């Protein structure tokens, strides 16, 4: 079975631009969560989606948005990029909303 996949692996953007990150969960997993990991820190929770509905949102500005599609894949959108948005963005999936989560390899975003 394929694990959680994310695309792209790396991305370079300039301040003010918009970015879309994509995540495909493990087959059969209905819960997808997004985390931001700044260098030297632990992952910080951004969103959780379960059965295409938002189940939680972390302490991030409205510039961050996400959605989950009928096939349970997910997109994270970040508008009006700031230098401080540079980070590794991790997606994690689980079978149910209370299950063990499995992380994808992440998308490394650099904002110049």
Partner 1 sequence: GENVEQHPSTLSVQEGDSAVIKCTYSDSASNYFPWYKQELGKRPQLIIDIRSNVGEKKDQRIAVTLNKTAKHFSLHITETQPEDSAVYFCAASRDTNAGKSTFGDGTTLTVKP
Beta bridge partners of 81: none
Does the protein bind partner 1 through residue 2 (CB under 8 A)? no
Does the protein bind partner 1 through residue 105 (CB under 8 A)? yes
Among 55, 60, 73, 75, binds partner 1 (CB under 8 A): 55
Which residue number, 35 or 81, has a Cβ lying nearer to partner 1? 35
Q: How far apart (Å, rounded) are the C-alpha atoms in residues 55 and 52?
A: 9
- Closest C-alpha among 35, 33, 38, 93 to residue 60: 35
- Closest C-alpha among 23, 20, 42 to residue 34: 23
Does the protein bind partner 1 through residue 107 (CB under 8 A)? no
Which residue number, 24 or 33, has a Cβ lying nearer to partner 1? 33
Does the protein bind partner 1 through residue 59 (CB under 8 A)? yes
Nearest 5°: CA angle at 85, between 79 and 88?
Answer: 115
Among 31, 68, 74, 107, binds partner 1 (CB under 8 A): 31
Does the protein bind partner 1 through residue 48 (CB under 8 A)? yes
């Amino acid at each position: 079975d394929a694990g959680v996949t994310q695309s792209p692996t790396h991305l370079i953007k300039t301040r003010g631009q918009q970015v879309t990150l994509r995540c495909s969960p493990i087959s059969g997993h209905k819960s997808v969560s997004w985390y931001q990991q700044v260098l030297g820190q632990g992952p910080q929770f951004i969103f959780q989606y379960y059965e295409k509905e938002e189940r939680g949102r972390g302490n991030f500005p409205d510039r961050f948005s996400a959605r989950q599609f009928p096939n349970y894949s997910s997109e994270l959108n970040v508008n009006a990029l700031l230098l401080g948005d540079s980070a590794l963005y991790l997606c994690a999936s689980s079978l149910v909303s209370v299950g063990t989560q499995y992380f994808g390899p992440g998308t490394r975003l650099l904002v110049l």
